C-alpha cells in the first residue's frame, strides 16, 4: 500500500474511534501518537498561515495553564483541563498533517463522505432493525443509537455543493449521489437532535453563500430570524407533555431550548425543572463562583478549577457535586481563562468566519474558504450549546485542519 493509502486508512480508524469510543483519554492519546508518527516519518513543517490561524487557541491554553498557578487547584483536575484544552489543537494539527501527506482534494471529500455514510448506515440499521421505533421514546432511541453526528451534517453539504465546483465529485453517478444524500438526511433527522437541526439551517445559509453580509443576505437572515421567533412563539403557545414520545418529544425539546440555555431562575429541588434548565444552572453557578474572586472575571480561575453545583447531581453512575466542564462553552472558557481567554476564542472564530470574504481566482481555494467559514459559524453557535470546539468528542476539528491545509 502507498503512504497515501496507509495514512488515509489509519486516519479513518482514528475518526471512527472519535465517534464511537466514549473514552476521552483513549482518543486523545491515539491522536497524539499518530501525530508523533507523522512527525517522525518526516513531516516536520507546517505553514506560518496555519500557525497564525490557530495561535489564539495556543495562547488560550497558555493563559489557562498559567492561571492555575494562582489558585490551589487539584493536580489531577489540572491535568484533565490540560487535555480538554489541548485536544482541539492536536486535532487541528492532525487534520492538517494528514492531508499534507495525502495532498489530494478529492480524497479529502471522499474520506469524510464515506465515513459519514458508514456511520449513517450503522445508525439507520440500529433504529430500523434493533429498536422498537413505534413504542420507544426519543430519549431511549438517542441513548441507544447516538445523540448526534456532525460529520454526517457536513458530508451532506459536501455532496450538495462540491459537485458544482471544479473539484472532482465524490460520486460520478448523480443517482448514487442523490441516494447518499437521502441516506444522510434520514440519519440526521433520526438523531432527533435540536442542535443538528439548528446546524442544518445554519450551514444551509453558509454553504449556499448567504453568510457573506450584504443587502440581500441581511434581508434573508432577517426573514429567517422572524420565522424562528414565530416558531418559538407558536411552540410556547402549544401545551406539549414533557413525557411525550416521537415527534412531540422533539418539539418539547425545541420548545425548551431557549429557556434551557438562558433561564437560570429555577428551583434546584425541582429536578424536572432543573434538567429542563440545566445549561443555565451550570452557567449561573460558574458566574457566582467567579464573583467570589477579586479578578475572577478578568483572569478566570485557571485550569483545574471546578464548579460547585451545591447538590449531588446524577450526571454519571456516581453522583457529582463538582464538575470541570460546562455545556455553555463561552462560560466554560470564561470560567477557566477569564475575559482575555474569551476574547482569544472569539478572535479565533472571527478569523475562520472572515475567510468567506477572501477574493481568489482559484475556485478550489474558494471552496475551502467557504468550508472554513462555515465551521467558524458552526463553532460560534455550538459553543453556546455543546461547548463548541471543546466538546469531548469532535470530528469537525479534523475537517477544519484539513481545510486549512488546502486553503494554505
Number of domains in the chain: 1
Within-domain flag for 146: yes
Within-domain flag for 303: no
Q: What is the pLDDT of residues 31-59, one digit of tens each?
A: 999 999 998 887 778 899 999 999 999 99
Query: What single DSSP character describes residue 169?
Result: P
Checking if the pLDDT of 260 tops 70, the result is no
Residues 6+ apart with CB under 8 A from 220: 205, 210
Q: What is the pLDDT of residues 93-109, one digit of tens each?
A: 999 999 999 999 999 99
Counting other chains too, the contacts that 125-132 makes at CB distance below 8 Å and 24 or more residues apart are: 127/190
Bigger pLDDT: 239 vs 249: 239
Residue pair 53/376 in contact (Cβ under 8 Å)? The answer is no
Least confident of 67-71, 229-233, 267-271: 267-271
Give dist(CA 120, CA 139) in Å, integer: 19
The alpha carbon dihedral of 195, 199, 202, 205 has a sign of: negative
Least confident of 241-245, 298-302, 389-393: 241-245
- Grid coordinates representing 181 are 444524500
Query: What single DSSP character describes residue 133?
Result: T
Give dist(CA 315, CA 309) in Å, integer: 11
pLDDT band at 408 (very low <50, low <70, confident <90, very high): confident
Domain boundaries, position 99: 3-225+326-407
- Identify the helix (H) or strand (E) that includes residue 308: strand 307-313
Bigger pLDDT: 154 vs 133: 154
Counting residues of the chain whose pLDDT is more than 70, the rounded percentage is 87
Give dist(CA 85, CA 48) in Å, integer: 22
Checking if the pLDDT of 389 tops 90, the result is yes
Within-domain flag for 214: yes
Give dist(CA 365, CA 406) in Å, integer: 7
Name, of 242-246, 278-282, 308-312, 368-372, the range with top average pLDDT: 368-372
Bigger pLDDT: 141 vs 387: 387
Nearest one of 157, 29, 43, 48 to 102, comparing CA atoms: 43
Checking if the pLDDT of 244 tops 70, the result is no
Give dist(CA 312, CA 375) in Å, integer: 36
pLDDT of residue 107: 93
CB atoms within 10 A of CB 198: 17
Residue pair 162/109 in contact (Cβ under 8 Å)? The answer is yes
Give dist(CA 233, CA 251) in Å, integer: 13
Residue pair 332/325 in contact (Cβ under 8 Å)? The answer is yes
Within-domain flag for 85: yes
Bigger pLDDT: 69 vs 258: 69
Bigger pLDDT: 279 vs 86: 86
Give dist(CA 155, CA 153) in Å, integer: 6
What mean pLDDT value characterizes the chain? 86
Give dist(CA 246, CA 296) in Å, integer: 44
For every residue of 7-56, DSSP letters joined together read HHHHHHHHHHHHHH---HHHHHHHHHHHHHHHHHTT-----HHHHHHHHH
Within-domain flag for 78: yes
Q: What's the distance, Cα to Cα, between the start and end of the chain in Å?
A: 28
Nearest one of 48, 183, 73, 195 to 121, comparing CA atoms: 183
pLDDT band at 186 (very low <50, low <70, confident <90, very high): very high
Within-domain flag for 286: no
Least confident of 13-27, 161-175, 191-205, 342-356: 161-175
Within-domain flag for 36: yes
Cα 296 from chain centroid (whole Å): 27
- Identify the helix (H) or strand (E) that includes residue 322: strand 320-323
- Grid coordinates representing 301 are 480561575
pLDDT of residue 174: 85
Within-domain flag for 371: yes
**Global pTM?**
0.90
Least confident of 41-55, 237-251, 374-388: 237-251
Amino acid at each position: 500500500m502507498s503512504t497515501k493509502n496507509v495514512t488515509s486508512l489509519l486516519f479513518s480508524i482514528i475518526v471512527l474511534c472519535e465517534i464511537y469510543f466514549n473514552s476521552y483519554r483513549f482518543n486523545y492519546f491515539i491522536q497524539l501518537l499518530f501525530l508523533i508518527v507523522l512527525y517522525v516519518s518526516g513531516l516536520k513543517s507546517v505553514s506560518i498561515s496555519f500557525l497564525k490561524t490557530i495561535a489564539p487557541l495556543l495562547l488560550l491554553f497558555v493563559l489557562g495553564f498559567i492561571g492555575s498557578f494562582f489558585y490551589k487547584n487539584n493536580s489531577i483536575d489540572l491535568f484533565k483541563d490540560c487535555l480538554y484544552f489541548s485536544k482541539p489543537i492536536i486535532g487541528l494539527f492532525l487534520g492538517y498533517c494528514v492531508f499534507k501527506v495525502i495532498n489530494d482534494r478529492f480524497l479529502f471529500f471522499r474520506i469524510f463522505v464515506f465515513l459519514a455514510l458508514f456511520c449513517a448506515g450503522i445508525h439507520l440499521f440500529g433504529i430500523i432493525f434493533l429498536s422498537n421505533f413505534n413504542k420507544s421514546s426519543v430519549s431511549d432511541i438517542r441513548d441507544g443509537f447516538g445523540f448526534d453526528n456532525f460529520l454526517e451534517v457536513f458530508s451532506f453539504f459536501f455532496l450538495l455543493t462540491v459537485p458544482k465546483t471544479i473539484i472532482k465529485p465524490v460520486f460520478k453517478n448523480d443517482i448514487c449521489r442523490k441516494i447518499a444524500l437521502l441516506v444522510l438526511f434520514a440519519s440526521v433527522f433520526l438523531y432527533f437532535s435540536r442542535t443538528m437541526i439548528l446546524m442544518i439551517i445554519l450551514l444551509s445559509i453558509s454553504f449556499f453563500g448567504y453568510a457573506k453580509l450584504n443587502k440581500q443576505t441581511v434581508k434573508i437572515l432577517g426573514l429567517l430570524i422572524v420565522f424562528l421567533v414565530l416558531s418559538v412563539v407558536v411552540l410556547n403557545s402549544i401545551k406539549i407533555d414533557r413525557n411525550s414520545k416521537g415527534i412531540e418529544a422533539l418539539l418539547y425539546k425545541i420548545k425548551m431550548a431557549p429557556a434551557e440555555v438562558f433561564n437560570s431562575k429555577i428551583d434546584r429541588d425541582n429536578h424536572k425543572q432543573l434538567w429542563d434548565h440545566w445549561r443555565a444552572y451550570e452557567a449561573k453557578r460558574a458566574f457566582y463562583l467567579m464573583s467570589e474572586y477579586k479578578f475572577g472575571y478578568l483572569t478566570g480561575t485557571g485550569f483545574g478549577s471546578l464548579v460547585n453545583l451545591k447538590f449531588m447531581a446524577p450526571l454519571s453512575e456516581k453522583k457529582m457535586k463538582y464538575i470541570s466542564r460546562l455545556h455553555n462553552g463561552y462560560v466554560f472558557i470564561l470560567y477557566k481563562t477569564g475575559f482575555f481567554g474569551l476574547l482569544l476564542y472569539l478572535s479565533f472564530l472571527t478569523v475562520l468566519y472572515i475567510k468567506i470574504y477572501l477574493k481568489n481566482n482559484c475556485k478550489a481555494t474558494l471552496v475551502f474558504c467557504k468550508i472554513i467559514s462555515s465551521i467558524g459559524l458552526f463553532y460560534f453557535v455550538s459553543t453556546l450549546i455543546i461547548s463548541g470546539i471543546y466538546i469531548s468528542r469532535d470530528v469537525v476539528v479534523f475537517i477544519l485542519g484539513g481545510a486549512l491545509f488546502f486553503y494554505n
